[in-house]
Amino acid sequence: MTNFDTKKFSLIFLYIIFVISLVLLTFFLVTWLLKEGEVLLPPPATGEFPPGPLTTFPQPPEFIEIGDYHFSGPWTLETLKDISIPSGRDLFGLFAVLCKRNEEYDIMYIGGAEQRDVDHECWAENCNQEIQNLYVAVFLTSSDPVKIKDNLNRRLNPVCSAE
């Protein structure tokens, strides 16, 4: 009976020695590979933030205060064609045409988004014939846009206002 216990003990001891040897061999092999191999580093981050799972982040919204209202924008006339303005039965839009002079914006015109009879020449004439300095800001509202437009036109008296 003691012979059987010795064989069993010997097998268990050899198995433990084999597992420990295997673990040590793996450890030394990985250590050697890390020292000899190329260290993989992430690419250097460009810009303010490191690269993330999203490739591009949307621009934060920009606002400009006109009267007591916060209009989205201002955007150049070129970028306005790329911007989609939501619309619906319960959502109405106003727009303001602005002229940028010395980092300040002069209000040229305030009108409703549905207006088609606007005086484009007046905008350019009053912005020193420099169309690249013309900007547009948009205000979306669910209340009466005509009332807001009339209030802003009366208070601010834009240069190219038809009223």
Please report whether residue 50 resides in a domain: no
Band of pLDDT at residue 18, cut at 50, 70 and 90:
very high
Band of pLDDT at residue 17, cut at 50, 70 and 90:
very high
Regarding whether 73 and 21 lie in a shared domain, the answer is: no
Q: What is the pTM of this model?
A: 0.58
15: exposed, middle or buried (Cβ count in 10 Å: 0-12, 13-18, 19+): exposed
Regarding whether 36 and 67 lie in a shared domain, the answer is: no
CB 134 within 8 A of CB 159: no
Beta-carbon contacts of residue 123 (< 8 Å; ≥ 6 apart) = 97, 99, 108, 109, 134, 160
Please report whether residue 144 resides in a domain: yes
CB 58 within 8 A of CB 143: no
47-101 pLDDT, tens digit each = 665 555 555 656 666 788 888 888 887 888 777 666 665 555 666 778 888 888 8
Regarding whether 72 and 140 lie in a shared domain, the answer is: yes
Q: Count the domains in the chain.
A: 2
What domain range includes position 10?
1-41
Please report whether residue 138 resides in a domain: yes
Calculate what percentage of the chain has a pLDDT beyond 70. 72
Regarding whether 146 and 114 lie in a shared domain, the answer is: yes
Mean pLDDT of 137-142: 81
